[in-house]
């Protein structure tokens, strides 16, 4: 079986003709078509000579291009001045410029894909049948394929016209017409964030024992119940432990009590009902402890193509292997953070990543500086939520109170949200105002109490 070398020399010659006869297209061609996309060395040398002449501000014509090739010793290799003159006389129409660029890029992408496939076949013949080398090879293959996609696709840019006009029209619409992201199920949080937005990296950070995995499980259940597909990468807990938390949280049954006794009839009914409700949704739990950002992206893309995808949750960020050799932990975590942000943008879904805070957060209120091992976490994230349960560190505090500090919000103000923690089912719920709060407000004013304080709230909470 003979291998076909993909390429379109005619399209390449036509593009060179347009660049020589229509100089204003040179800069655009340089952005759309890399020199490596040309099939042969002659076309590549000529293309690079045209770009070199244009970059110096000289007139792009037969003489200047020939002189550039002569100075680099490549004029004879491309066929001399007669060949350059022949290119400029092809008479290509400017209307075909974008089509020619796209055709050259697509042929280059096919050649690159064939090269990666050949390398993959060679690697598969010599690789050891062990889990680590196999999955490292697959990660490398996925990375190379992603590079082909990024090289073959022109940059996505937005111009002031018509983007500015369409943006203004969208902002004018009422809130319900603007749409919102994936609702978390917590009223105050959704009011503030307008849901988890596609392409966002959201960090949920806390110290150990505070309950960040439990809150993540609650969010997953509530997001999935609204018809969204959720992928959960659990690097710290097994799949069975995750399902135990989800089922007990849904049923409102004490997980700790069930470890030491048989379920009561009422509890058994509640558990079966909760399991049926969760089973009717689409939640994917992957508990492999050695995933990398690339393998996660490949798995999510497979789910997205098959079922659609609404939310990706990772527990937790500092456990992920970067997939690349890094000299220290800071660089490794920074690379993982950046790759998770790329995954959110590439898949166009929100990514909720759990993160660990350092020990200082046990002596004082959690804050952004407590994020462990990397300042890039704060930079890459669009939203940072710091979870705290004061009762863990202060026995006099309310045992049911949990606070969620929105410490960073790229597209809005920051605020502390109160949640209710149910220790029996190890789950978090919306925290309702106390009865005395309603009574006091009703005595002072006929106006119903707002869910949160509104006086000066927006003005006093600066944007990121």
Q: What's the whole-number mean pLDDT along residues 118-140?
A: 79
Question: Could you give the number of structural domains in the chain?
Answer: 2
Q: Is residue 276 part of a domain?
A: yes
pTM over 0.85: no
User: What are 18-72's pLDDT values in tens digits?
Assistant: 888 887 888 778 878 888 888 888 888 998 888 888 877 788 888 888 988 988 8
**Residue 26 half-sphere exposure toward CB, CA atoms < 13 A:** 23
Residue 207 has pLDDT above 90, yes or no: no
Residue 404 has pLDDT above 70, yes or no: yes
Here the CATH number for the domain that contains residue 58 is 1.10.860.10
Domain of residue 64 covers: 9-152
Cβ-proximal residues to 243 (8 Å cutoff; 6+ apart), any chain: 285
User: Is 287 strand, coil or helix?
Assistant: coil
Do 300 and 370 lie in one domain? The reply is yes
Residue 461 has pLDDT above 50, yes or no: no
Here the CATH number for the domain that contains residue 391 is 3.40.50.300
Do 305 and 237 lie in one domain? The reply is yes
Do 46 and 85 lie in one domain? The reply is yes
Question: What percent of the chain is predicted at pLDDT more than 90?
Answer: 3
> How far is the C-alpha of 398 from the C-alpha of 407, rounded, in Å?
22
Buried b (16+ CB within 10 A) or exposed e, 20-55: bbeeebbeebbebbeeebbbeebbbbbbbbbbbbbe
Of 152, 171, 197, the last residue of a domain is 152
Residue 96 has pLDDT above 80, yes or no: yes
295 pLDDT tier (thresholds 50, 70, 90): confident
Q: Is residue 270 part of a domain?
A: yes
Cβ-proximal residues to 433 (8 Å cutoff; 6+ apart), any chain: 449, 451
Do 64 and 186 lie in one domain? The reply is no
């Amino acid at each position: 079986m003979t291998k076909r070398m993909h390429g379109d020399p005619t399209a390449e010659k036509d593009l060179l003709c347009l660049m020589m006869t229509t100089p204003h297209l040179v800069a655009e061609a340089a952005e759309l078509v890399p020199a490596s996309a040309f099939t042969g060395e002659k076309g590549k040398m000529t293309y690079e000579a045209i770009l070199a002449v244009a970059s110096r501000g000289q007139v792009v014509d037969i003489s200047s291009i020939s002189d550039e090739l002569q100075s680099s010793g490549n004029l004879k290799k491309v066929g001399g001045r007669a060949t350059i003159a022949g290119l400029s006389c092809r008479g290509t129409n400017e209307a075909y410029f974008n089509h020619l660029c796209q055709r050259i890029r697509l042929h280059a992408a096919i050649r690159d894909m064939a090269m990666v496939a050949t390398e993959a076949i060679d690697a598969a013949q010599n690789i050891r049948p062990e889990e680590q080398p196999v999955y490292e090879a697959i990660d490398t293959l996925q990375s190379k394929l992603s590079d082909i996609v990024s090289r073959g696709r022109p940059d996505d840019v937005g111009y002031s016209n018509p983007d500015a006009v369409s943006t203004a029209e969208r902002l004018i619409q009422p809130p319900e017409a603007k749409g919102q992201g994936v609702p978390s199920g917590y009223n105050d949080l959704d009011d503030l964030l307008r849901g988890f937005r596609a392409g966002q990296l959201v960090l949920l950070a806390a110290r150990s024992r505070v309950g960040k995995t439990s809150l993540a499980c609650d969010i997953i259940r509530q997001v999935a119940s609204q018809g969204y597909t959720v992928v959960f990468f659990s690097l710290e807990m097994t799949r069975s432990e995750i399902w135990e938390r989800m089922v007990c949280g849904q049923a409102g049954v004490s997980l700790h009590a069930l470890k030491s006794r048989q379920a009561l009839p009422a509890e058994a009914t509640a558990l079966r009902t909760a399991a049926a409700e969760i089973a009717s949704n689409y939640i994917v739990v992957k508990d492999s402890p050695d995933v990398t950002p690339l393998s996660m992206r490949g798995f999510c893309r497979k789910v997205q193509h098959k079922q659609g995808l609404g939310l990706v949750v990772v527990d937790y960020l500092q456990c992920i292997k970067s997939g690349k050799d890094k000299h220290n932990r800071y660089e490794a975590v920074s690379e993982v953070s950046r790759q998770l942000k790329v995954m959110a943008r590439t898949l166009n879904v929100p990514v909720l990543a759990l993160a660990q805070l350092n020990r200082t957060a046990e002596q004082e209120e959690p804050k952004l500086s407590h994020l462990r091992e990397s300042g890039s976490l704060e930079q890459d994230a669009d939203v940072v939520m710091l979870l705290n349960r004061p009762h863990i560190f202060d026995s006099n505090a309310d045992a049911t109170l949990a606070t969620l500090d929105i410490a960073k919000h790229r597209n809005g103000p920051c605020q502390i949200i109160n949640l209710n923690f149910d220790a029996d089912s190890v789950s978090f719920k919306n925290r309702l105002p106390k009865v005395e709060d309603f009574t006091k407000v009703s005595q002072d004013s006929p106006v119903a109490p707002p869910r949160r304080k509104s006086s000066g709230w927006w003005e006093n909470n600066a944007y990121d």
